């Protein structure tokens, strides 16, 4: 179409043809023509491109066409003088207005243009889509920081409760915790603290939902050794909600021009370096010091630091954190490329103290659920569809809760204990001591829940906390559930179903279970060993019945491992015996070695003897394992100790065999090849090193299982 005849052609087209042309120009990205149509034909403002994308303004917002959106909004405003503008309230098939789309995509500037620089159209902030989500809600669940900060600022950080809750009862705080936006959760608690005690339709408070996120806490996360090192290398500064919100707002609000120079972030460090250098030179009289002089182009170090917002860490320079971040990043990538492991570290977020001030949720009969959600007007067709969608979401949520086997009567304290979150258990015990007596629908208290879910850290924490109150501790120990099961009964059950193994390997898991059973047995009275539940079973009976399959698997694993290692040990013993009887250099007439007294020969003789002795020792240990009964009590100490001794002997014998070979081979070549031989000998130790590295996790787990009284979980027991 010729742009010169654009207006003339529009005047002759019907409304349907104009809508078709608008859709064509919009989908093809011909935004100049779209803007002209918006300026000349007001009907275009509410014309739908199609149900899924909405109007042309929806499409422009979704594609982040800032200039186009600015022109389209001005065109709409120019033709409408009433307070509410229908074009800005048009929705797509999801019920989203253009402001919903901009907020959920994080386009803060577009949000500002739609609402108005003076908040002329602030009523749009309260519009909800078909799921009951406002633009502020959309920005929160997608954690679009700038858009959330702006919309919250527009509402004066005091949005009403109905704007912060969607139809299934979830607040923005529920969604932030569920999606693990913990920095957003801290900000929400600061500005909207009344959401801390709100329950959704499933009866979950934000605190209870947080207790279902063990990955957010160090105590409930199983980390490998290199991840634990990395975890302690990370410096996490406390989050300042006000500072964070102001920083996000500063990126979108037009700041007045100032005479301040926009220095780079590391300018303060660079200036400090030169300033200190000049000060040192000035001490020797080489150059006058400029310490007390003021220069507008070169601000003082203190001023620059404040303006840049870069805090100093102790005696380290302001960019220390950046340097440390680079080192950590390089460390992680190096480990990833080398195949050591992958994955992140737990956030270990410190929740604001207001989150724990939820005494009202423990009162019987008190809830903070919204009454207006139950009293929706069902006469309107749109409202009926909304209720149907809400019911569908409710059913899905109930199915999810059923699948996860979450007891709706469990308090946040019991959920935290079930997931092994010691930080939450400690904090809630400190703030609400009465939670120690909370029980779930099966009448299980916190100690029974922790034992059933194999959380030794929680049990130890409760034991330490209750040292000053022995009577309370005794009451917790003596409590039984609705099946008359004691702590010892619950500790006797084998892992299965949704209960993950605490350590890798069936044999080691068996050792862990026995250790766990013995540890709990030491906490309860002696007569608990003979006490029966409703089914007439003692704890010992339950342990034997539930561990039959695990005992068989453990026995098979030990048998296969011992057979393989015994073959290797026998070969090493044969090689070591042959090497010990083959004396390098021969003997003299009296039978004494000709090379006696030389260091290499002495090393050869000692290594051959060590290799023979340890290989025979390892062979005997493995044969002993093969002939053992492999009953449950044998896995407590006998079999793990034999396996540990056998593996250690095998490793030492292999290393000694290689040493004896290298020292014996040293006499076969001229000493002129020393520079070549040493690297070759070093390379021969690579298989031994590889074997040691590969077997170290098993060796370490065996050693830990034997020496520790309270079993600890290993990261190797995690599911994929």
Higher-pLDDT residue of 640 and 315 is: 640
Q: What is the pLDDT of residue 192?
A: 92
Q: Which residue has the higher pLDDT, 37 or 365?
A: 37
Average confidence (pLDDT) over 647-662: 86
User: Which of 141-150, 240-249, 461-470, 700-709 is least confident?
Assistant: 700-709
Report the pLDDT averaged over residues 181-186.
Answer: 90
The count of other CB atoms within 10 Å of the CB of residue 439 is: 18
Quickly state the pLDDT bin for 365 (edges 50, 70, 90). Answer: very low
Closest CA to 201 of 395, 441, 416: 395
Is it the case that residue 444 has pLDDT exceeding 80? Answer: yes
Residue 253, Cα to own-chain centre: how many angstroms?
A: 33
Report the alpha-carbon distance of residue 335 to residue 714 in Å, rounded.
Answer: 20
* pLDDT at residue 125 in the model: 92
When mean pLDDT is compared across 24-33, 150-159, 283-292, 652-661, the lowest value belongs to 283-292
Q: Are the C-beta atoms of residues 653 and 569 closer than 8 Å to each other?
A: yes
Return the higher-pLDDT residue of 9 and 582.
Answer: 582
DSSP letter at 49?
A: E
* Span 491-509, pLDDT tens digits: 999 876 545 555 667 788 8
CATH code, 412-548 = 1.25.40.20
Average pLDDT, the chain: 76
- Tell me the per-residue pLDDT of 451-492, one tens digit each, with 9 for 90 and over: 999 899 999 999 999 988 889 999 999 999 999 999 999 999
- What percent of the residues of the chain are helix, what percent strand, and what percent coil, each to the nearest 5? 65, 0, 35
Identify the pLDDT of residue 582.
74
The backbone region for 132, taken as left when phi is positive above 0, alpha when psi lies in -120 to 50, beta otherwise, is: left
The DSSP result for 141-177, as a single string, is HTT-HHHHHHHHHHTTT---GGGSB-TTS-BHHHHHH
Contact 614, 653 (CB under 8 A): yes
| Residue range(s) in the chain whose domain bears CATH number 1.25.40.20 | 3-232, 412-548
Q: What is the CATH number of domain 3-232?
A: 1.25.40.20
Which residues touch 672 (CB under 8 Å, ≥6 apart)? Answer: none
Number of Cβ atoms within 10 Å of the Cβ of 537 = 16
User: How far, in Å, CA of 193 to CA of 357, rounded?
Assistant: 10
Q: Which residue has the tokens 């048009």?
A: 90
Give the pLDDT score at 347.
44
Q: For residue 242, give the 3-state DSSP assignment.
A: helix
Tokens of 659: 């040493």
> Which residue intervals of 667-720 are DSSP H helices?
674-684, 686-707
Q: 361 with 435: CB under 8 angstroms?
A: no
Distance, in Å, from the CA atom of 25 to the CA atom of 548, rounded to the nearest integer, reads 72
589: pLDDT confidence band, cut at 50, 70 and 90? low
CA-nearest of 513, 466, 494, 492 to 705 is: 513
**Pair 318, 269: CB distance under 8 Å:** yes
The arithmetic mean of pLDDT across residues 664-684, rounded, is: 69
Q: What pLDDT is attached to residue 171?
A: 93
Q: pLDDT class for 686, splitting at 50, 70, 90? A: confident
Percent of the chain with pLDDT over 90: 23
pLDDT at 673 over 90: no
For residue 666, pLDDT over 60 is answered with: yes
The structure tokens listed for 693 are: 């590295």
Question: In this predicted structure, what is the pLDDT of residue 8?
Answer: 43
Asked if pLDDT for residue 519 goes beyond 60, the answer is yes
Chain segment 86-118, per-residue pLDDT in tens: 889 899 988 999 999 999 999 999 998 899 888
pTM value?
A: 0.67
Other beta carbons within 10 angstroms of residue 620's beta carbon come to 16
Average pLDDT over residues 672-681: 70
Signed CA dihedral, 79, 85, 86, 90: sign only? positive
């Amino acid at each position: 179409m010729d742009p010169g005849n654009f207006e003339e052609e529009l005047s002759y087209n019907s409304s349907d043809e104009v809508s078709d042309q608008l859709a064509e120009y919009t989908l093809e990205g011909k935004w100049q023509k779209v803007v002209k149509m918006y300026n000349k034909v007001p009907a275009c403002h509410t014309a739908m491109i199609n149900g899924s994308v909405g109007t042309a303004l929806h499409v422009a917002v979704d594609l982040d066409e800032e200039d186009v959106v600015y022109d389209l909004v001005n065109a709409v405003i120019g033709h409408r003088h009433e307070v509410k503008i229908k074009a800005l309230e048009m929705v797509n098939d999801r019920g989203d207005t253009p402001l919903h789309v901009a907020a959920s995509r994080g386009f803060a500037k577009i949000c500002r243009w739609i609402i108005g620089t003076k908040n002329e159209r602030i009523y749009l902030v309260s519009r909800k889509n078909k799921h009951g989500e406002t633009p502020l809600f959309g920005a929160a669940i997608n954690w679009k920081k700038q858009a959330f900060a702006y919309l919250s600022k527009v509402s004066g950080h005091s949005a009403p409760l109905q704007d912060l809750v969607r139809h299934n009862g979830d607040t923005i705080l529920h969604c932030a915790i569920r999606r693990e936006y913990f920095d957003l959760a801290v900000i929400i608690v600061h500005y909207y603290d009344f959401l801390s005690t709100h329950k959704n339709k499933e009866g979950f408070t934000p605190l209870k939902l947080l207790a279902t996120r063990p990955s957010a806490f160090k105590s409930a996360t199983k980390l490998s050794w290199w991840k634990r090192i990395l975890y302690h290398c990370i410096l996490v500064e406390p989050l300042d909600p006000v500072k964070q919100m102001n920083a996000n707002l500063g990126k979108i609000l037009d700041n007045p021009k100032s005479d301040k120079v926009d220095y780079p972030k590391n300018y303060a460090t660079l200036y400090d370096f030169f300033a200190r250098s000049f000060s040192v030179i000035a001490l020797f009289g080489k150059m006058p010091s400029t310490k007390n002089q003021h220069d507008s182009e070169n601000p003082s170090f203190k001023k620059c630091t404040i303006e840049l917002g870069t805090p100093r860490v102790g005696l380290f320079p302001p960019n220390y954190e950046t340097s440390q971040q680079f080192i950590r990043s390089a460390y992680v990538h190096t480990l990833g490329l080398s195949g050591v492991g992958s994955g992140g570290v737990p956030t270990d977020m410190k929740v604001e103290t207001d989150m724990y001030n939820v005494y009202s949720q423990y009162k019987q009969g008190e809830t903070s659920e919204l009454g207006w959600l139950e009293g929706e007007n069902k006469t309107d067709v749109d409202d009926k569809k909304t209720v149907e969608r809400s019911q569908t979401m409710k059913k899905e949520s109930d199915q999810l809760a059923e699948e996860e086997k979450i007891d709706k009567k469990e308090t946040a304290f019991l959920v935290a204990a079930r997931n092994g979150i010691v930080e939450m258990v400690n904090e809630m015990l400190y703030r609400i001591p009465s939670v120690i007596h909370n029980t779930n629908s099966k009448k299980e208290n916190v100690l029974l829940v922790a034992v059933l879910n194999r959380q030794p850290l929680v049990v130890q924490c409760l034991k330490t906390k209750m040292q000053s109150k022995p009577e309370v501790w005794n009451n917790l120990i003596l409590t039984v559930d609705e099946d008359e099961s004691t702590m010892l009964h619950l500790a006797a059950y084998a892992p299965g179903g949704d209960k993950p193994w605490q350590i890798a390997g069936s044999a080691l898991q068996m050792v862990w279970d026995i250790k766990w059973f013995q540890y709990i047995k030491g906490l309860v009275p002696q007569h608990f060993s003979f006490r029966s539940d409703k089914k007439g079973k003692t704890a010992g009976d339950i342990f034997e019945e539930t561990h039959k399959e695990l005992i068989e698997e453990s026995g098979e694993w030990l048998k296969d491992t011992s057979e393989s290692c015994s073959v290797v040990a026998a070969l090493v013993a044969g090689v070591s015996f042959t090497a010990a009887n083959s004396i390098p250099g021969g003997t003299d007439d009296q039978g004494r070695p000709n090379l006696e007294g030389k260091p290499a020969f002495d090393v050869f003789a000692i290594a051959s003897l060590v290799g023979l002795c340890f290989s025979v020792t390892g062979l005997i240990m493995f044969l002993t394992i093969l002939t053992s009964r492999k009953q449950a009590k044998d896995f407590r100490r006998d079999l793990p100790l034999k396996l540990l001794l056998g593996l250690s002997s095998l490793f030492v014998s292999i290393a000694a065999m290689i040493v004896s070979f290298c020292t014996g081979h040293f006499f076969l070549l001229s000493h002129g090849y020393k520079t070549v031989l040493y690297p070759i000998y070093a390379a021969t130790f690579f298989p031994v090193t590889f074997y040691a590295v590969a077997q170290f996790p098993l060796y370490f787990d065996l050693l830990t299982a034997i020496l520790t009284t309270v079993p600890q979980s290993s990261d190797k027991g995690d599911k994929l």
